[in-house]
Structure 1
């Protein structure tokens, strides 16, 4: 698939999954987050879970590492995708655990790169590449997809029926691109308008009512359009796998 999202300013996100005997590591970095998860397993079951948050947007986010351990320790690798409890977890750590489990037996590391361009004349382009090859892209305006034609008119939160028709690898790509497209909206919302956790729906660890009232916005925001640094560049020396 030919790239339809040139190197324009926008939101950038990178996932890296590194399998090894008895463990698999997954990492993500974008404008707002830098996190990693390591699943230690015996070939069938997750024995222990390590999670690190190097950069997160809320003061309460670090507590989500324990929640992730409680959610997935003792769970079969092939049951991670259906384990549930995503709203009780940091959604990003939960996604990393699911991604790691899905690729625990790959023979090579794998990288997903996501770009969601800033709007030009109201149009944003979103693209996902796997190991450098474009596997999925769409264009969106006013929160509705306009390209490709088969998705035209759909909103991002209504894509589930279409995603359910895809193969497992395609579903994974669509899930990651849709979520990144939603997160990218943070680039166009003033920070003061997204810093009250109590106004957010209870769809993650920090936004649960008991934590939302005490959560403070603390994370450093990086713009990967500035300079030569790419997401996860700083993680290369910190890998446990």
Structure 2
């Protein structure tokens, strides 16, 4: 998935989402919802919009990032990597332009390291994140979300394929959408590198960067 925010004079004049792969049959409808949510809005008001659960949360987060960095003079690239669990522990890391900013250890949906956050649930980190220096708060929120998503790999697909049993936290899980949502798409497993699969997950999806 990707989002391009076209802007002029500090306002978003066009939102261009691109959902190349999606987990649910209803997800593509979230592209129009994202355009409705942000088109015409001042960039500085994106964070105040507050309609994340009505949107695809992934597209929404990318639109928020785009608005936050729209006036940057240089490119920003975040990479998030979360290991599978080894001895019930995952290692989660986020890099900015190739430099590691944060590295956490998580077990059972709770942080183990860093020590300052040990024992806190992944979905309850916001207060601790707010105590970090400003330059680390954005990457910490991204790593929190990436680490939470990575836990889904340990849940059997048959246990996460009924949208009506999911909390209404995104576009496809809203009650009116959940009754129609069906699991779609090919499952790609990058757990093992073999002679048949040597590519990395994003090899086919190089980012599009527009600079003017």
1:42 alignment counterpart: 8
2:204 alignment counterpart: 234
Shift of 1:231: 3.8
**Contact persistence 1:138–1:147 (CA under 8 A):** yes
1:152 aligns with 2:118: yes
166-175 or 193-202, which deviates more? 166-175
1:15 alignment counterpart: none
Separation in 2 of the partners of 1:156 and 1:125?
Answer: 13
**Contact persistence 1:39–1:50 (CA under 8 A):** yes
**Contact persistence 1:80–1:101 (CA under 8 A):** yes
2:174 alignment counterpart: 208
Structure 1 residues not aligned, in runs of 5+: 1-34
Shift of 1:60: 0.1
Give me the TM-score of the superposition, normalised by structure 1.
Answer: 0.81
Shift of 1:185: 1.3
| Secondary structure of 1:154 counterpart | coil
Give me the TM-score of the superposition, normalised by structure 2.
Answer: 0.91
Please show how residues 150-189 of structure 1 align to structure 2 within 5 Å.
150-189=116-155
1:133 alignment counterpart: 99
2:36 alignment counterpart: 70
- Please identify which structure carries the higher strand content: 1
Over 3 Å counting, the alpha-carbon distance change for 1:169 and 1:233 in structure 2 is farther
Structure 2 residues not aligned, in runs of 5+: none
**Contact persistence 1:197–1:206 (CA under 8 A):** yes
RMSD after superposition: 1.6
